[in-house]
């Protein structure tokens, strides 16, 4: 089953009076459980695609579907619900809340969802911190952790609410190559264990090497799309 689809998506950004084309007719269908890399040169449209899959923005033309539902007519509240309930985000610069501990950063989305009692919530957080290999760092603040450890917290934060899709924009770009490879291995392991779909962008051939499907984007179009 397709978990998310782009159908003839065109995205133009408006800068003053000028329209900047970012996507020029992209159609892709991502199946449940896939581990997909978006690759392509700077400015090719990777972040734009992730923002559209992530319901952070709407296409100029064409449609984006999450689980069979076109998001075009969703209100901004409904889009926020979709993001909170179905999507997890991982960023290049980790984007943890600096005053919160690792535990509290991971707990935060569960508090927003209001679905669990405190005891259940604590269990979920400790379980996922253990899964990503940093249970012993639960009380550390982001500043007191290495980049790789912070990205593990961010992956735990994305996965703790058991989302359908994790979207990651250049998740290894601020890490050294060894740490970056560890993060990719962790993402792949979590993908295989939880069957969560992962879509991540990269410039790095090492990262592309771990992908099970490689979608190459060039100048706002899909240039090639290969499953391995």
Binding site for Mg ion (CB under 5 A): 46-47
Report in angstroms how near the CB of residue 204 gets to ligand ATP at its nearest.
Answer: 11
Report in angstroms how near the CB of residue 2 gets to ligand ATP at its nearest.
Answer: 22
Q: Is 152 in the site for ligand ATP (CB under 6 A)?
A: no
Closest to ligand ATP by CB, 40 or 54: 40
Alpha helix segments (H runs only) across 132-176:
147-159
Q: Is 18 in the site for ligand ATP (CB under 6 A)?
A: no
Q: Is 142 in the site for ligand ATP (CB under 6 A)?
A: no
Q: Is 202 in the site for ligand ATP (CB under 6 A)?
A: no
Give the separation between CA 96 and CA 142, rounded to whole angstroms.
7
Residue 56 buriedness (CB in 10 A; 0-12 / 13-18 / 19+): middle
Q: Is 44 in the site for ligand ATP (CB under 6 A)?
A: yes
For residue 67, give the DSSP letter: T
Closest CA to 110 of 165, 159, 57: 159
Among 30, 46, 184, 200, the residue binding ligand ATP under the rule CB under 6 A is: 46
Report in angstroms how near the CB of residue 139 gets to ligand ATP at its nearest.
Answer: 34
Q: Is 214 in the site for ligand ATP (CB under 6 A)?
A: no
Q: What are the C-alpha distances in Å from 69 to residues 79, 82, 93, 156, 164?
A: 12, 11, 31, 27, 14
């Amino acid at each position: 089953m397709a978990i998310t689809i782009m159908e003839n998506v065109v995205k133009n950004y408006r800068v003053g009076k000028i329209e900047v084309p970012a996507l020029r007719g992209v159609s892709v269908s991502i199946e449940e459980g896939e581990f997909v890399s978006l690759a392509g040169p700077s400015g090719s449209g990777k972040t734009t695609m992730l923002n559209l899959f992530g319901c952070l923005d709407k296409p100029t033309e064409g449609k984006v579907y999450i689980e069979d539902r076109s998001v075009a007519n969703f209100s901004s509240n409904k889009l926020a619900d979709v993001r909170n309930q179905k999507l997890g985000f991982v960023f290049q610069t980790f984007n943890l809340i600096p005053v919160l501990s690792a535990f509290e950063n991971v707990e935060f989305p569960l508090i927003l969802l209001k679905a669990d009692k405190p005891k259940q919530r604590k269990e979920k957080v400790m379980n996922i911190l253990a899964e990503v290999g940093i249970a012993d760092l639960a009380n550390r603040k982001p500043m007191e952790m290495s980049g790789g450890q912070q990205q593990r917290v961010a992956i735990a934060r994305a996965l703790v609410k058991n989302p359908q899709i994790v979207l990651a924009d250049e998740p290894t770009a601020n890490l050294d190559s060894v740490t970056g490879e560890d993060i990719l291995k962790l993402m792949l392991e979590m993908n295989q264990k939880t069957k969560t779909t992962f879509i991540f962008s990269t410039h790095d051939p090492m990262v592309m090497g771990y992908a099970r499907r490689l979608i190459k984007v060039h100048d706002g179009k899909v240039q090639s799309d290969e499953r391995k």
